[in-house]
Every structure is written in structure tokens, then in C-alpha cells.
Chains A and B, each alone.
Chain A
Amino acid sequence: MIFFVLLLVLVLFAQIAEFFIPVLPWLYNAHVYIVPVIVFYGAMALPFPLMLALALYAGLLLDALTVQVIGGKVEISTGTSILLYGVLAGIMHGLRPLFARGHWEVHCVMSGVFTSLIVLAQYLMITFRRGSLVFTREVWWQIAGPGLIAIAVAPIFFWLLQWIARMTAYSYGPERERLQ
């Protein structure tokens, strides 16, 4: 439970930190997103109900801090990110057996892919509202860029979070027990 609370705190601080991380001009102004990496790690490390709670919390924060209400219209409804995080974290949770066997690489790559999927979903939703579906090289890079960065930073974050889990004596691993 301590580990779960720590994850909630980390998600909050990561979400705030994202405001202060500058965009990467050499990667078509791609943003750096840390929160998805933490949420997807939580999806592997936490039991199903807590994974859903984490997805709910992270999605709500994302909606509250990014979605804009302009001229009395909401482009992306509150709750959309909860749904996105819920579905993607659910898929990640399904890959737990691999994680239990120590295959982190798959999850690092999946974290990146899912981060890009969140950005893509946001783009498709605002495009649906604003019209004119445009897919230029810049758009692709702004979608793929955060994913590539997530893949690059995921091993560090996974290692850090694994270390925190050990420090807090967190040991949820039914698959690992079964494997042993």
C-alpha cells in the first residue's frame, strides 16, 4: 500500500514537472512525458484494482491539466484520458507474466508505444472537433517523439521504481510465485 501511495505522489510530481520540461527542438518540438512511464510500470507492479485506481488518478490529472475549455466548448471530454489510461494499463497488466520472468525490454518498448498512442488519440480527437485531418512529418514526429523518449527513459524509471518497491518491501507477484 505504501508503494501504491508513493506511485500516486510520483505521478503528481511528474505531471507538475512536465510543465517545466522544455520541448525538444531537434525532435520537431516533441514533448517529454514521464507520467505514462510511471503509470505503465504501476500497471505491471500493482494488482488489478489498484492498477485501475492509478489509471483513474493519472487520467483525471491529465484531463484537468491539459484539456482546454474554449468559448464554452470542451475539445476532449473529462474522463477520456481515464479511459485511455485504463485500457492501455489493462493491456500492460496482461503482460505481467513477462515482467515476472524479468523481460523488461518488452514493457519499455510498450511504454513508448502507449505514450505515443495517447498523444495520437488526443490528436485524433481534436482533429475530429476542428476538422481537416492533417498528417505531416511534423505531426508524426510530435506523436512518435514522446514515445521514443519514453522508450529511452523507461529503463531508468523502471529500475528506480523497482528499487522503491524493494525499499518499501512491496512484493506483489503471483506470477513470480507460480514460476518459482
Chain B
Amino acid sequence: MSRTYIIALLIFGAILGYFLSFGPTTTQKFKAGVYQLLAPFLTSGSGLKKQITSVRSGLKSLEQLEHENSALQVENRELRATSQGLRDVEHEVNRLRHALNYRERSVFKLIAAEIIARDSSTWWRTVTINRGKRDGVETDMPVVTDTGLVGKTTTVSGTISIVLLISDENCRVAASIEGSREQGIVSGERLKTGMTPLLDLNFLSKQADLKPAQKCYTSGVGGVFPSGLLIGTVKSFRVRELDGQAQLTPAVDLSHLEDVFVVTGRK
């Protein structure tokens, strides 16, 4: 082995040792720093993705139009393009109006945010939002939509934040069941078994006997999530050796999230 190789290995080892010595706080700061550096790329990447999706849907219309005669084809394409554009605007107006209504009637102080990127790793369920410290977002703040709980913020940089979804095994939420005194802990599953993930509600009593469609809310225990946020509805219940466990269908469609709200406090 040549001297250059040994020197290179020694430098590599030294840098590796330095990074391995990082504690949780340093790691979080480091992550936030990297995310802050990449924020412009992630934001523009999100816009680019939307444009590509829009072009793809436009091409589908063209395929359908190929079967018609050439004169009508041109006219039809123009009309379809205009109509598609208006539909997009209408959809966005409806979405924003819905969000605005929710923010006004909510009992919480909310910061509206847009999802700019989804998890790129196999084992964690996260999304990246376009709000950060500059907007008043901090670590461990609940994230919701008008239909229910989404998750909580973990790493927060200046302009973007990472949200750990409730479908992640590490996101644990103290919960209670509507119409009963049962309380438990909701957590996600380690594996993504389908496009719609299910949640586990653990540590229930064996006598809980929950019925499908019963609603599950945050209980407020633990301090991160305020009470009264809808988590999901009961899908099934089973008795285990030591406790009862229910499977929940999340109230929010986590695979099609577009806009969310970060809860910063009560009004």
C-alpha cells in the first residue's frame, strides 16, 4: 500500500471519527444547516415536479385527441388547455379557501405551510414543508390539516422544516377514544405496506372492546400534541396477551398531502 493511500485513509478515518462523535444536538444543527443550504433546490424541485405532472396530464389529452380530425384536434386542444388551466386555478382557489376557513375557525394559532418534498428514505416517514424558524416554527410542534393530525416537526432550519408523520413508528401520540375512557399510545408501522398506512393504538385495556368507526383524538398527555385533534378512526380491535390493540385508519390522507398547518399555540 502506497504512502498516498495510507495518508488518504488516515484523513478519511479522522473525518469519520469527527462526524461519529456528533451528539443529537449537533446532528440536528448539522441537519438543519444542510437543509437550509438545499432549501432553494428543494423548493424549485417541488415547482418543477408540479410542472412536469401538469405537462404529463396535458400529453394524455393529446393522445385522446389523436383520433379526431385535424381541424377539431387543434381547436379541441386549445379548449382543453384553457379548461385544464381553469380547473387547476379552481382547484387551488377551493383548496386555499378551505384552508383559510379552517384557520379562521380553528381554536389554535396556525401557520400555513406547503409540502415541498417527501421522504427519500425507506425507513422514515417524513415530509419537508416550506416554513421554518423565520416563520415561527420550532421543533416538536404539531402539524395538522382541517381533517386531522399529520405529525410533528423534528428538524427546523431557517426557511424549511421536516415533519415526522404519524405513520412513522417513532411518532408516538397519547390518544383517547371518543365515547369511552380508554387511553393509549398511537404510533405508525415500521413498514409501508400500502399507499394508505395504518396506525396502531397500543396499551388499551383488554376490556376496551372498541367498535369500528369510533373516533380517536389526541389526549393532550405528553405536552407535544394539544388535546382534541382527530387522529383517525378505529378499523379493528384485538386483545393481546397483556393489553388491547386497535388499528386505526388515519383521518388525513397522508399520501396526498399538499397543504398543512403548524400549530404554534392556542388563540
Contact = CB atoms under 8 A, between A and B. Distances in A.
Interface of A: 13, 15-23, 25, 28-31, 48-49, 52, 55-56, 60-61, 63-75, 77-80, 82-83, 86, 119, 122-123, 126, 130, 134, 136, 138-139, 142-143, 146
A56 B12 contact: yes
Interface of B: 4-5, 7-9, 11-12, 15-20, 22-28, 30-31, 34-35, 38, 41-42, 45-46, 48-49, 117-124, 126, 128, 154-155, 162, 164, 169-171, 190-195
Contacts of A15: 120
A166 to B, nearest CB: 26
A95 to B, nearest CB: 17
Chain A contact residues: over half helix, strand or loop, or mixed? helix
Top 5 A-B pairs, shortest CB-CB distance: A79-B19, A49-B8, A64-B34, A79-B20, A19-B117
Select the residue from B5, B24, B26, B154 with max chain A CB neighbours within 10 A. Answer: B24
A22 to B, nearest CB: 8
Contacts of B28: 69
B190 A130 contact: yes
B24 A72 contact: yes
A146 B122 contact: yes
12 contacts: A22-B118, A25-B195, A52-B12, A56-B12, A65-B35, A77-B22, A78-B27, A83-B16, A86-B12, A122-B122, A142-B192, A143-B122
Contact of B42 (A19, A22, A126, A138): A19
A17 to B, nearest CB: 7
